[in-house]
Amino acid sequence: MSESLQSILGAETLAAFEAEGPLFSGLPGAAYTSEAFLALENERIFTDSWVFAGFAHELPRAGDVAPATVAGRPLLLVRDAELRVRAFHNVCRHRNLKLVDAPGNAGRAIRCPYHSWTYGLDGTLHVTPYFGGSEPRAVPPGFDRGRHGLVPVRSATWYDWIFVNLNGAAAALEEFLAPLRNRLEGIDLTRLHHIATIDFGEVAANWKLILENFIEPYHVQFVHATTTEQPLTDHYTVNDSGCLGCAVDVSGEATRGDTLSADSRYLTLFPNFVFGLYFPDQIGVQLNVPRAPDRTLQRRAIYSLGPESRLNACAEQLVKLWSGVHAEDHAMLERLQQGRASELAAGGGVLSPVWEDAVRSFQERVVSGLG
């Protein structure tokens, strides 16, 4: 059992965070630096919720497999014979070896490299060679292969995005997605076309700092002065129960040169689905996977809407633009993380009631998800 929220953050610090305005404090620093806090997040938030775990287009063919990590656990994503994506615990039922450690195609069966236990794409255990003796099919008395298949994890795919719910108790995925869908204003996601993915590797910052940075528009004019033309005054925050983020309407200005200047929606679903919509036809989705309190793996997939989109010929340019935008954010995120080594960060700083109200809501979701 993990430590409680109160024992990790301290009762007084937690009470200061929970105190009502006029100004709100941010989350206490330990929420971003403590191993115990991440363990609690893994045990509760990343176990109870629908968690974004992977991209379906990376598993196009039957037999394609890819490892994923959710709540610190090794999971396995599989495209089965009916072309459905399934999720399992990525652990052989024999000696609990991590079964698949790199994306690839397993053919019709997933074989453990250690003793060749072999599972079907539906998780059924088919082969356990010599387990019961010197005959290939021998099994010991009392052993039933039917009881040692891969253990499934509840999963569902929405367009290109694979979600899993480890404890199986979250509300239906449709319900989880509804607040985002309500914000998509007639966008037709059936036209989704993957253009490129940028793998940023490890960002030296806590996953929550990445989400908070995406949610708030306050930094854009300062941090992204050269990569974007989106004045702060054109922004507003999105603070629905269920969908947090911000948006900008730039009054119809056209994209100029290599900068981003378009009406945009920066939307998140708690805890980790990050969805950017850049009118008229660009979408970006981030997969952020916590590795440690101060380290998060990050990838960004870039999409267009429609096969005829002019974006489809601009992969290189888009990768360059978004690599630049993320590099600007990473520099700030790593310094946000470093600042949390100071005792001054225990109080969590102070949030703008205008531009960081949705950040506050995100932080309140974290605290309520751990209580």
Decide whether 32 or 322 has the Cβ nearer to Fe ion: 322
H/E run at residue 173: helix 173-181
Distant-in-sequence contacts of 311-318, Cβ < 8 A, 24+ apart? 311/195, 311/281, 311/282, 312/193, 312/195, 314/195, 315/195, 315/196, 317/258, 318/195, 318/196, 318/282
By CB under 5 A, is residue 329 in contact with Fe ion? yes
Tokens of 286: 């981030």
By CB under 5 A, is residue 356 in contact with Fe ion? no
State in angstroms the smallest separation of the CB of 306 from Fe ion: 27
How far, in Å, CA of 48 to CA of 272, rounded? 13
State in angstroms the smallest separation of the CB of 261 from Fe ion: 15
State in angstroms the smallest separation of the CB of 324 from Fe ion: 11
Decide whether 64 or 329 has the Cβ nearer to Fe ion: 329
How far, in Å, CA of 107 to CA of 66, rounded? 13
| Cβ 13 vs Cβ 346: under 8 Å | yes
State in angstroms the smallest separation of the CB of 107 from Fe ion: 42
| Cβ 211 vs Cβ 245: under 8 Å | no
Decide whether 329 or 357 has the Cβ nearer to Fe ion: 329
| 3-state SS class at 78 | strand
Residue nearest Fe ion, CB atom distance: 329
Decide whether 306 or 324 has the Cβ nearer to Fe ion: 324
State in angstroms the smallest separation of the CB of 23 from Fe ion: 23
Part of the chain binding Fe ion (CB under 5 A), chosen from 162-170, 192-200, 323-331, 355-363 = 323-331
State in angstroms the smallest separation of the CB of 209 from Fe ion: 11
Part of the chain binding Fe ion (CB under 5 A), chosen from 72-80, 140-148, 156-164, 322-330 = 322-330
Decide whether 48 or 234 has the Cβ nearer to Fe ion: 234
Query: What is the distance, to the nearest Å, from the Cα of residue 204 to the centroid of all Cα atoms in its chain?
Result: 16
Using the Cα atoms of residue 175, residue 266, residue 72 and residue 58 in order, give the sign of their dihedral: positive
Of 51, 5, 47, the residue nearest 30 (C-alpha) = 5
Decide whether 331 or 350 has the Cβ nearer to Fe ion: 331
State in angstroms the smallest separation of the CB of 216 from Fe ion: 9
| Cβ 348 vs Cβ 25: under 8 Å | yes
Part of the chain binding Fe ion (CB under 5 A), chosen from 133-141, 313-321, 325-333, 334-342 = 325-333
By CB under 5 A, is residue 229 in contact with Fe ion? no
Decide whether 294 or 329 has the Cβ nearer to Fe ion: 329
How many positions of this chain bind Fe ion (CB under 5 A)? 1
Q: Mind giving me the DSSP string for 183-237?
A: TSTT--GGGEEEEEEEEEEEESS-HHHHHHHHH--TTHHHHTTTTB---GGGEEE
Chain contacts with Fe ion (rule: CB under 5 A): 329
